Amino acid sequence: MALISILIVSALEGCSSPPKNESLSMTGIYFDTVVQIEVWDAQQTILDECEEICAQYEQLLSPTIETSEVSKINQAQGAPVTVSDETAQLIRLGIEYGEISQGKFDITIASATNLWDFRDNKEKEIPYAEALSEAVSHINYHSVKVDGNTVTLTDPEAKIDLGGIAKGYIADKLKEYLKNQGVEHALINLGGNMLALGGRPDGSDFRIGIQEPFAADGTVLTNLSISDKSVVSSGNYERYFEKDGIIYHHILDPDTGYPVQNNLYQVTIISDSSVQGDALSTTCYALGLEAGMELIQNTDGVEAVFVTDDLEVHKTL
């Protein structure tokens, strides 16, 4: 994980109403990643509903579940598909971030990502150049049309993948639910996407450690203190493999289909919205240090930490 929560997690299983300032926590596997939620002064039923929310969104958005709405869009070969309000909203957000990033963030990247395998960080075969070239010809978020709840891919060979913003979107929805239930203090971790509701019950901030790239898990490079904020990281050391001395990682360039090549190891975004942090962390990594920092400096309410391949830390804070 790119981010490490530096706090004591006390899981009080079987306790429906913990004493004041005590916490309850849950851990589950959704979206092929670990989901952890810790809440203070809340009922167990609230955590149970959080798990149900995660399961519902997984059924809507997972590209690996054949009956999901994303899979139905990808299988439709250009035919219109009716989707839920949530899926339509997320696709619209994906198109919006495509515009903001000038195509560096593209939800139709799936035709290229489907050719790569970054699971378990073991050496894999590199896709053929011809296959990547063909895939890139179908990467264009402008081919995604949303009319109300109807989604159409004008390129029948295009495929969408909402993985670049889905975790952030779901984290925001979980925070919204917790807030509506009267929860004032919580920490949500969706596979390293950290989102805080308030601060700690004693009034202090949550401390979030940024993982040192390519170091042992839990090795902290620098710390952030946050309250009621989102912290999201993207980096080349999370899912990758090495072949012939070259690191191939999961952040792909929509223009080439190959992993983005620059001097960045990692980008961390601090923002109010986790879905915004999700999209901007990928975008800024693809843009590189100078252009990425310029984008953040021109975006209200957002800060960033960039880590270069010499482990130098650059902050807009």
Phi, psi of 38, rounded to the nearest 5 degrees? -120, 130
- CA 287 to CA 279: how far, in whole Å? 12
Contacts of 311 (CB under 8 A, 6+ apart): 212, 213, 221, 265
CA angle 303, 32, 44 (to 5 degrees): 80
- CA 189 to CA 226: how far, in whole Å? 14
- CA 129 to CA 136: how far, in whole Å? 10
Picking from 97, 106, 93, the residue whose alpha carbon sits closest to that of residue 299 is 97
Picking from 188, 148, 202, the residue whose alpha carbon sits closest to that of residue 273 is 188
Which amino acid is located at 199 in the chain?
A: G
Contacts of 129 (CB under 8 A, 6+ apart): none
Q: How many residues does the chain have?
A: 317
Picking from 287, 315, 288, 292, the residue whose alpha carbon sits closest to that of residue 303 is 315
Q: Residue 164 annotated as binding?
A: yes
Longest Cα–Cα distance of the chain, Å, equals 61
Q: Residue 94 annotated as binding?
A: no
Q: Residue 152 annotated as binding?
A: no
- CA 48 to CA 52: how far, in whole Å? 6
DSSP string, 86-126: HHHHHHHHHHHHHHHTTTSS-TTTHHHHTT---GGG---PP
- CA 243 to CA 315: how far, in whole Å? 32
Which residues define the annotated binding site for Mg(2+)? Answer: 164, 278, 282
Which residues define the annotated binding site? Answer: 164, 278, 282
